[in-house]
Amino acid sequence: MRFHSPQKLKTIADLVGAKFIGPEDFEVLGTNEIHMVQPGDIVFVNHPKYYDKALNSAATIILIDKEVECPEGKALLVSEDPFRDFNRINTHFTRIYNFTEELHDMEIGEGTKIHRTAVIGNNVKIGKNTLIFPNVVIGDRTEIGDNVIIQSGTVLGGDAFYYRKLNGNFDRLISVGNVVIENNVEIGNNCTIDRGVTASTVIGEGSVLDNQIQIGHDTVIGKKCLIASQVGIAGCCVIGDEVTLWGQVGIASGNKVEAGTVLLGKTGVNRDLEKGTYIGMFAEDFKTYLKKEVKLRNLK
């Protein structure tokens, strides 16, 4: 999430009551979670296991629960609860409506048709000649391009599935990102596409999604991808252009699939994949899988 205007380190520290290490006028441009960080971003870390990853990431402001040596060219915000204060910062700069108020501040392009039963949040932009079917829900800040089709029951911009365990309960990391649907995308019935925690969940131009597909927060789907029914893609994945995912494929969080790859039905992905055709619970090369099956069948 980028702030509307640059902020100063001391301003952010005062906002959440944190100690700051670095020049008080150190520039802060926004927030991001660890998979998406850029220079100028705040990233939070609240476990020693991940200190090095956060401190050495592209982020230049680290919201951390212990005072440590600050890397050169960066700044620290030392907080007793970085998770909580990350939420405080995000919700200070991005108001959360959750359909409790209707501001009617949407932008709708010429020729777009929206069924009267669709529910649309605030700060939504919809391009030209797009069709929104009955009972579609479009969350705040969603951006939809031209010539898009979104069929019945689909939800764009629900909360990210991102929690921590706190005092025996689950505490949510509040999602202040959005969903971006590029031009010429088709989305089937009863799909759910979560908004980014701090960035965008993106469906690339010309991609086609079947029914009952789940796409997690901050995942980026490339151009002209074909995704069949009941596929589940976790958060922070990157799917290249012209990838084909057949039915019930599952992709774990943070993985990348190279452009042109084909994942056959029920393939499970728990690592980055180079271009190829894969099958099986742990995404085996298809030809290798077939050779193994032949050998197993010929055992005596």
104 catalytic per annotation: no
CB within 8 Å of 263: residues ≥ 6 apart: 243, 244, 245, 246, 249, 257, 269, 273, 277, 278, 279, 283
Q: Whats the size of the chain, residue-wise?
A: 300
- Phi and psi at 155, nearest 5°, equal -120, 120
Closest residue by Cα to residue 261 from 253, 249, 252: 249
Three-state DSSP state, 93: helix
Neighbours of 213 (CB within 10 A): 24
Closest residue by Cα to residue 20 from 209, 201, 28: 28
In angstroms, the CA 61 to CA 7 distance is 12
Supply angle C-alpha 286, 287, 290, rounded to 5. Answer: 90
Three-state DSSP state, 61: strand
CB contact at 8 A, 250 and 232: yes
From 4, 104, 115, 217, active-site residue: 217
In angstroms, the CA 250 to CA 154 distance is 19
Three-state DSSP state, 290: helix
75: exposed, middle or buried (Cβ count in 10 Å: 0-12, 13-18, 19+): buried
Neighbours of 130 (CB within 10 A): 23
In angstroms, the CA 113 to CA 149 distance is 10
Three-state DSSP state, 147: coil
Q: Please give the positions annotated as active site.
A: 217
